[in-house]
Amino acid sequence: MSVLVDKADLSLKYTAHYTQVKEQLFEGSSEILNAQRTKAFQDFVMQGIPTRKNENYKYTNLNPSFLPNFNFVHEKEERKADFSEVFRCDVPQLNTNLALVFNGWFYKNENEKGDLPEGVILDSLASIAKEKPELLEKYASIAKTDEDPLVALNTAYAKDGFFLYVPKNVVVESPIQVINLLQNEKDTFTTQRNFILVEEGAKVQVLLCDHTLNLNQYLSNSVTEIFAEDKSELEFYTLQNQHNRATNLNSIFIEQQKDSRVTTHTATLHGGLIRNNLKFILNGENAEANMFGMAFMDKKQHVDNFTEIIHAKPHCQSNQVYKNVLDESSSGAFSGRIHVVRDAQKTNAFQRNNNLLLTDEANMQTKPQLIIDADDVKCSHGATVGQIDEEALFYLRARGINEDKARLMMMNAFAHEVVKEIKLEALRDRIDELVDKRLQGEVARCHDCAYNCDC
C-alpha cells in the first residue's frame, strides 16, 4: 500500500537532523568534502525528497523508504575487520583484492598484502581527502547537487566510502572487490561516497557487492564518481543482493576522456526497493561506453534503473541492454536517456530494454528517450514488455519437456544475453548459478546474507 506524506514534512525530518549534527559532520572531515556540504544542504532544502511529480522519479514512490525513524551512522565504528571471514560472494575461483565498506565506512585489509601493483591506492575516501587531496581536488564534481536531491542529501551527509586510484599505464591483473555490508541493531540510514580515478592507459576491473547481514530496515544512499582518462579501461560490476526491508539508492557518475572504454554491469538479484542512477559523460573522441543490467524481482520488490548518457564529443559509441524478469506483484521501471550534443557527429548510440512479466500482477514502466542535436549519427532505442511466448513454450513441451522446465529454459535464455557479457569467467559462472536459483524460486543470496521472503 502506498504511503502518502507531504513532501515538505518528510524532508523536514532530514533537514532538521542535518542541523542537529552539522558540527559533527564538519568536525574531523576534510576540506574537500566540507566545501560542498553547505551548498548541497541548501540544494536539498530547495528540492526535498523526490516524489512522483519529479519527472526523473515518476515511477518510484520513495516516501515509505524515508518514513522510519532511522539511526544515522555519522561516525566510524571501531572494529577490526576479519577479512578471513568476509565472504567473497561465494566465488571461490575469483582471486580478488578485497576491501570492506561497513555501514558506509571503509575498513582496510591490514592482514593481507594483496597483489596490487605499485602506485595503486585502495583506501578510505576520508583518509585520502585529508592526506592526499591532490588526487581529488583537480576533478570537478560530476555529481551535481542541484540536479538530483538524492545526490544533494548524500553530499550533505557524506564522510567516507572507498577510494581507488590506478596510475598511468598500470594494469591491475586481479579484480578489486569491495564488499558493502549493512548491519546494525537498529533500523539504519547510511551514506556512502566513493571515488575512482583511472589514469591514462590504465586498466582495472572492480566488483561491488551489496549485502545485508540482519533483518532490520536499511536505507543506503550511495554516490560514486568515476573518472576514466585517455585510453583507460574500466569494467565496473555491481551485484545487488539485499533483503526485502532494504532500500538501495545507488547513483554512479562516469566521465570518460579520449579513447577510453568503460563497461558497467548491474545484476539485481534481491532487494526491497532499488533505484540505480547511472550517468555517463563521453567527453573525449572515440570514447566507448557499454551498459548492461538485469534484475529478477518477486513479492512486492521494486527496481528502477535510470540511465543518462551524454555524447559530448564526436566519434563516440554507447551500447545499453537492460533486462528484467518480474514475478508475483513486483514492479520495475527503466528510463534511458541518450543526448547527442550539437557537435558530437559520427555518434553511434544504441539502447534496448526488454522485460518479461511472469504474472498478471507484475508491472513494468519503460521510457526510452533520444535527444539528438547532431545530424550525422546512428542512434536507436527500443523496449518490449510481455509474457513468455506461448508458441515457443508449446514447441518445447511438444518435445517432451515439462512446462516448469520449459519456462525455466526460456527465462534463462532471456537473461543469458546480459550474463554472457560478464568478462570475469568465475563471476559469470556464479551469476549464471544465482540466476538459475532465482528463476526456480530459491532465494538468491551469498553465503550468510540475511533475507526475508515474507515482508
Q: What is the pLDDT of residue 154?
A: 98
Work out the average pLDDT over 160-180.
96
Question: According to the model, what pLDDT value does residue 1 have?
Answer: 32
- Distance between CA atoms of 254 and 234, rounded to whole angstroms? 11
Query: Residue 8: which pLDDT band, with cuts at 50, 70 and 90?
Result: low
Q: Tell me, what's the pLDDT at 197?
A: 98
What is the model's pTM? 0.94
Question: How far, in Å, CA of 121 to CA of 119, rounded?
Answer: 6
In 3-state terms the chain splits into helix, strand, coil percentages (rounded to 5) of 25, 40, 40
Question: Tens digits of per-residue pLDDT, 80-138?
Answer: 655 555 555 656 567 888 899 999 999 987 665 568 999 999 999 999 999 999 999 98
71: pLDDT strictly greater than 60: yes
Phi–psi pair at 413, nearest 5 degrees? -65, -35
pLDDT in the model for residue 367: 95
Q: What is the pLDDT of residue 445?
A: 47
Q: Which of 417, 408, 416, 409 is nearest to 441 (CA)?
A: 408
Residue 344 near residue 379, CB atoms below 8 Å: no
CA 225 to chain centre: 11
Residue 309 CA to its chain's centroid (Å): 15
pLDDT band at 78 (very low <50, low <70, confident <90, very high): confident
